[in-house]
């Protein structure tokens, strides 16, 4: 089958070799915190200071990391692939865009954006949100991280769904397949008639759902796969 339309899903594993810790890890924690303490709306309501500090630290840490070979290879594919391509990332870091990807959607939000719970503005944000700075649009001190927490609706689902419906190839890179709805994309893509490929450090919960799988570090496997695809 000739491949024209590609959808790529990335997860925390694609940024691991840049030094950004993955989500669950062997101990089930994100940077030493339980998910339910930092990544739910209830956690934010209970302890906004802790949650703001947690994301302030993650945002500041982006200044100390760089895109790796996997991000760069995906940016090369974006620049050189003549057909349709959509890179959907679950990551909240900015490493795909810093590598040069442009056909990119952040389905779980972005560390470098704030969200006003008053007026709904989502301004680009570089500094801290601790200290309750005012919203640049409505001036209310009501900014939270623009992160999709557990129990909230991921962003861009209509555009992602349309791209999956039209996909000839769906590739999942560096994701454990534990977080829905992203974990369901492989089934969706197969039903839409796409070939499916997993690239992950190790077999994931979803591996049996893919037509083929390659296991090893993304920094090695993704550049090799991109080189194959571009011939």
| Contacts of residue 102, Cβ cutoff 8 Å, sequence gap at least 6 | 78
| Contacts of residue 26, Cβ cutoff 8 Å, sequence gap at least 6 | none
Candidate list 71, 72, 96, 108; residue touching ligand NAD; CB under 6 A: 108
Q: Does 12 bind ligand NAD (CB under 6 A)?
A: yes
Choose one: 42-50, 97-105, 164-172, 173-181; the region binding ligand NAD (CB under 6 A).
173-181
Q: Does 73 bind ligand NAD (CB under 6 A)?
A: no
Residue whose CB is less far from ligand NAD, 5 or 55: 55
- Our answer to whether residue 108 is catalytic in this structure is yes
Candidate list 5, 52, 101, 175; residue touching ligand NAD; CB under 6 A: 175
Candidate list 105, 121, 166, 201; residue touching ligand NAD; CB under 6 A: 201
Candidate list 6, 7, 8, 13; residue touching ligand NAD; CB under 6 A: 13
Choose one: 22-30, 78-86, 96-104, 186-194; the region binding ligand NAD (CB under 6 A).
22-30
Cis omega (within 30 of 0) on the bond before 176? no
Q: Does 22 bind ligand NAD (CB under 6 A)?
A: yes
Euclidean distance between the first and the last CA atom of the chain, given in angstroms as a whole number: 16
Q: Does 91 bind ligand NAD (CB under 6 A)?
A: yes
Q: Does 93 bind ligand NAD (CB under 6 A)?
A: yes
Tokens of 222: 């993704």
Helix or strand holding residue 162 (H, E): helix 157-165
Long-range contacts of 42-45 (CB under 8 A, 24+ apart): 42/151, 43/149, 44/144, 44/149
Judge whether 99 and 74 are in contact, CB under 8 Å.
yes
In angstroms, rounded to a whole number, what is the distance separating the alpha carbons of residues 86 and 102? 9
Determine which one of 71, 96, 106, 108 is catalytic. Answer: 108
Candidate list 3, 178, 227, 230; residue touching ligand NAD; CB under 6 A: 178
Q: Does 40 bind ligand NAD (CB under 6 A)?
A: no
> Least Å distance between CB 66 and ligand NAD?
13
Q: Does 145 bind ligand NAD (CB under 6 A)?
A: no
- Give CA angle at 171 (22, 182), nearest 5°: 55
Judge whether 16 and 174 are in contact, CB under 8 Å.
yes
Q: What are φ and ψ of residue 222, in 5° steps? A: -70, -45
Cis omega (within 30 of 0) on the bond before 115? no
In angstroms, rounded to a whole number, what is the distance separating the alpha carbons of residues 2 and 120? 43
Q: Does 223 bind ligand NAD (CB under 6 A)?
A: no
The residues carrying an active-site annotation are: 108
Which residues contact ligand NAD (rule: CB under 6 A)?
A: 11-13, 15-17, 20, 22-24, 30, 90-93, 108, 174-176, 178-179, 200-202, 204, 217-218
């Amino acid at each position: 089958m000739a491949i024209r339309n590609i959808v790529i899903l990335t997860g925390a594993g694609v940024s691991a070799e840049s030094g950004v810790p993955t989500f669950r890890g062997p101990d089930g924690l994100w940077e030493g915190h339980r998910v339910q303490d930092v990544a739910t709306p209830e956690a934010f309501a209970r302890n906004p200071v802790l949650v703001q500090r947690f994301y302030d630290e993650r945002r500041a840490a982006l200044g100390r990391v760089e895109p790796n070979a996997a991000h760069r290879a995906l940016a090369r594919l974006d620049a050189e692939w003549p057909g349709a391509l959509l890179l959907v990332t679950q990551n909240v870091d900015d490493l795909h865009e810093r590598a040069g990807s442009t056909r990119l959607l952040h389905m779980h939000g972005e560390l470098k954006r704030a969200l006003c719970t008053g007026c709904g503005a989502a301004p680009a944000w570089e500094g801290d949100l601790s200290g309750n700075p005012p919203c640049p649009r409505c001036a209310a001190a009501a900014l939270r991280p623009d992160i999709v927490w557990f129990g909230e609706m991921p962003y861009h689902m209509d555009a992602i769904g349309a791209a999956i419906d039209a996909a000839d190839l769906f590739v999942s890179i560096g994701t454990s397949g534990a977080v829905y709805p992203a974990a369901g994309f492989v089934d969706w893509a197969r039903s839409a008639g796409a070939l499916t490929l997993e690239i992950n450090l190790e077999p994931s919960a979803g591996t049996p759902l893919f037509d083929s799988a390659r296991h090893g570090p993304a920094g090695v496997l993704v550049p090799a796969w991109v080189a194959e695809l571009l011939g």
